[in-house]
Amino acid sequence: MSRSAHPAGPRHADVYPEGHYTAPAADLNVLDEKVWARTVRRDDDGVVSVGGIEVSRLAEEFGTPAYFLDESDFRARCRAWADAFGPDADVFYAGKAFLSRAVVRWLQEEGLNLDVCSGGELTTALDAGMPAERIAFHGNNKSVEEIERAVRVGVGRIVLDSFQEIVRVAHIAQSMGRRQRVQIRVTVGVEAHTHEFIATAHEDQKFGIALADGQAAEAVRRALRLDGIELIGIHSHIGSQIFDMAGFEVSARRVVQLLAEVRDEHGVELPEIDLGGGLGIAYTSEDDPSEPHQIAKALNEIVSRECEAHGLATPRISVEPGRAIVGPTAFTLYEVGTIKPLEGLRTYVSVDGGMSDNIRTALYDAEYSVALVSRASDAEPMLVRVVGKHCESGDIVVRDAFLPADLAPGDLIAVPATGAYCRSMASNYNHSLRPPVVAVNDGRARVIVRRETEEDLLRLDVG
Ligand code: LLP
């Protein structure tokens, strides 16, 4: 998706190649608050700070690359979601976006529930004291061990993803003398991709049970017959980084339609629906995400309207935002190393991390912003590609962006909106060490996930 062929400015127009960039901002020193965590500021001396601490001090103390997470912003976003949906709905933070024990504690303090999708996430949640009944367990291929553990600890719900799993969970729960609360995940026939949603061949993906062809209705039929499970509702998650509410609207409409069919066939009104996560955030100044209260209002209206039309009582709604809570709250801080200007193309700026700490650019062609943060600069904008230090040419962190032309090795640059799916998808490629996550709040910084060490690498390599 090319935004514009050339940046503004006659001096650059004839030297810059086609790319995914817009004109450079009028002043590269200005940080667009849309993409940066809320307490990020550029101070009078030109150095950027977060939570009242300058990034140069953070780099000195914690090293680079590192993720810095604005705790007050994270908490504020949790509260905004909880307040927007109110006491008659449930907000489940999607732990896959980023999970640590500190995060689990913040969620509890701010009144959120948690969606986990693996035994590892469940362990982290329980270890940090999240009450099991506030946990939803997801996944298209949960192991028997994971299901047994989830049932044993008493998770609030297991989201069933296939016909086999309906039987498997019911059997396991029954053999443990339990009745497990479950939802059935359905695929509603819309798939959302970034700014658009398209009708999709719903059978052609691994998640959920298709509403079409009566598959989901059959799943409900089977679930209602089994003693080991209590079917409390229907779940739908349509995709990620969505800006348009239309996909949710279709999803809600189809889920409510199923509730009506279930009522007609079984005389049972399922009390809950979960509309999943997927709400987009601003990675660049081009993105315009909705606020939680707008999303809550839209979803509540759609569900109430559809339920009224079918003569159903409005079910309890839950949502599962991950990215929209944690994504904007963190940035990755890198030190600039090699700078390689390619005449007539662009300048390659190498940093001390790369695809091992942010795979999203390589994997999804994701777009990011970047800023020089260790000082201000009045130099001309220079078209750059920020790349990592891995042995792979696709090791790109920011495909196209502008940084000041006087950028030099040793400068600190930061990539905002890396709170979601960066640390959680980080790897040890080239035996690199996964960066720490440092929570910053009100003049204090503390490591919540420490940097890996070479000893960690050797510990796993048992010879
Ligand atoms: N609920 C369910 C059932 C999900 O599968 C997901 C994400 C979420 C909630 C949270 O979605 P969010 O609000 O964070 O968009 N690695 C990709 C995203 C994969 C999302 C998978 N499921 C990325 O980096 O964009």
Residue whose CA is closest, atom 16 of ligand 1?
421
Ligand 1 in reach of 161 Cβ (< 6 A): no
The residue whose CA is least distant from atom 19 of ligand 1 is 240
The pLDDT of residue 9 is 38
Residue 277 Cβ inside 6 Å of ligand 1? The answer reads: yes
pLDDT digits (tens, 9 = 90+) for 312-334: 999 999 999 999 999 999 999 99
Q: What is the pLDDT of residue 190?
A: 82
CA of 278 to the centre of ligand 1 (A): 6
Residue 121 in contact with ligand 1 by CB distance below 6 A: no
| Segment holding 95, helix H or strand E | none
* pLDDT average, residue stretch 334-340: 98
At residue 197, does pLDDT exceed 80? no
Quick check: helix, strand or coil at residue 364? Answer: helix
pLDDT, residue 102, reads: 98
Whether the CB-CB separation of 449 and 437 falls below 8 Å is answered with yes
95 lines ligand 1 (CB under 6 A): no
Q: Which residues contact 214 (CB under 8 A, 6 or more apart)?
A: none
Q: Can you tell me the distance from the alpha carbon of 142 to that of 124, in angstroms, rounded to the nearest whole number?
A: 17
CATH H superfamily, domain 138-321: Alanine racemase (3.20.20.10)
Report the separation in Å between the CA atom of 27 and the middle of ligand 1, taken as the mean of its atom positions: 34
- pLDDT tier at 3, thresholds 50, 70, 90: very low
Query: Measured on CA atoms in the order 161, 163, 168, 169, is the torsion positive or negative?
Result: positive
Q: What mean pLDDT, rounded, does the chain reach?
A: 93
408-450 residue pLDDT tens? 999 999 999 999 999 999 999 999 999 999 999 999 999 999 9
Q: How far apart are CA 224 and CA 363, in angstroms?
A: 40
The alpha carbon of 283 is separated from its chain's Cα centroid by a whole number of angstroms, namely 12
- Cβ of 115 less than 6 Å from ligand 1: yes
Report whether residue 276 contacts ligand 1, using a CB cutoff of 6 Å.
yes
Q: Which atom of ligand 1 is nearest to the CA of 366?
A: 25
The Cα-based distances of 147 to 143, 160, 397 in angstroms read 6, 11, 37
Mean pLDDT of 65-83: 98
270/232 Cα distance (integer angstroms): 6
In single-letter form, the type of residue at position 180 comes to Q
Q: Does 1 have pLDDT greater than 80?
A: no
CATH 3.20.20.10 intervals, the chain:
138-321
Measured in Å, residue 274 CA sits from the centre of ligand 1 at 14
For the segment 382-399, what is each residue's pLDDT rounded down to a tens digit? 999 999 999 999 999 999
Strands 316-319 and 272-274: parallel
Q: Which atom of ligand 1 is nearest to the CA of 320?
A: 9
Give me the mean pLDDT over the 213-219 stretch.
Answer: 96
What is the Cα 233 distance to its own chain's centre? Answer: 24
Cite the DSSP H helix spans in 194-333.
215-225, 246-266, 292-310, 323-326
The residue contributing the CA closest to ligand 1 atom 15 is: 278
Confidence of residue 10 (pLDDT cuts 50, 70, 90): very low
| Closest ligand 1 atom to 321 CA | 13
- Ligand 1 close to Cβ of residue 97 (< 6 A): yes
How high is the pLDDT of residue 24?
Answer: 87
Q: Which atom of ligand 1 is nearest to the CA of 279?
A: 13
The CATH number of 33-70+328-460, from 3.30.70.1290, 3.40.50.150, 3.30.70.580, 2.40.37.10, is: 2.40.37.10
129 Cα to the center of ligand 1, angstroms: 24
Is pTM beyond 0.85? Reply is yes
Nearest CA to ligand 1 atom 9: 277
Give me the residue label for tokens 């499970």: 229
Cα distances (angstroms) measured from residue 142 to each of 146, 164, 265: 6, 11, 30
What integer is the mean pLDDT of 254-281? 97
Whether 195 has a pLDDT exceeding 60, the answer reads no
Whether 323 lines ligand 1, by a CB cut-off of 6 Å, is yes
Supply angle C-alpha 63, 396, 425, rounded to 5. Answer: 65
Place of tokens 């999943």: 276
- Over residues 25-67, the pLDDT tens digits come to 889 999 999 999 999 999 999 999 999 999 999 999 999 999 9
Which protein residue has the closest C-alpha to ligand 1 atom 20?
240
CB 404 less than 6 A from any atom of ligand 1: no
For atom 12 of ligand 1, the residue with the nearest CA is: 278
Query: Considering only 196-205, 220-229, 400-409, 440-449, which range has the smallest mean pLDDT?
Result: 196-205
Which atom of ligand 1 is nearest to 242's Cα? 15
| Across 113-139, average pLDDT | 98
Q: Is residue 186 within 6 Å of ligand 1 at its C-beta?
A: no
pLDDT (0 to 100) of residue 462: 96
Distance in angstroms (rounded) separating the CA atoms of residues 462 and 123:
24
Residues of the chain with CATH 2.40.37.10: 33-70+328-460
Residue 71 CA to ligand 1 centre (angstroms): 21
| Type and span of the H or E element at 13 | helix 10-13
Cα(116) to centroid(ligand 1), Å:
11
So what's the pLDDT on residue 369? 97
Q: Is 202 in the pocket of ligand 1 (CB under 6 A)?
A: no
Task: Report the percentage of the chain scoring pLDDT > 70.
Answer: 93
Residue 121 CA to ligand 1 center (angstroms) comes to: 14
Residue 15 in this model has a pLDDT that exceeds 90: no
Active-site residues, by number, are 391
Residue 343 Cα to ligand 1 middle (Å): 40
- For ligand 1, atom 24, the nearest C-alpha belongs to 421
Q: If you measure from the C-alpha of residue 327 to the centroid of ligand 1, how many angstroms do you get, rounded to a whole number?
A: 11
> Could you say which DSSP state residue 127 is in?
H
What pLDDT, in 10s, does the model give residues 145-191?
999 999 999 999 999 999 999 999 999 999 999 999 999 999 998 86
284 has pLDDT over 90 = yes
Q: For residues 165 and 194, which has the higher predicted lDDT (pLDDT)?
A: 165
Residue 412 and residue 66 in contact, taking contact as beta carbons nearer than 8 Å: no
**3-class DSSP state for residue 279?**
strand
For the record, the structure tokens of 121 come out as: 């996430």
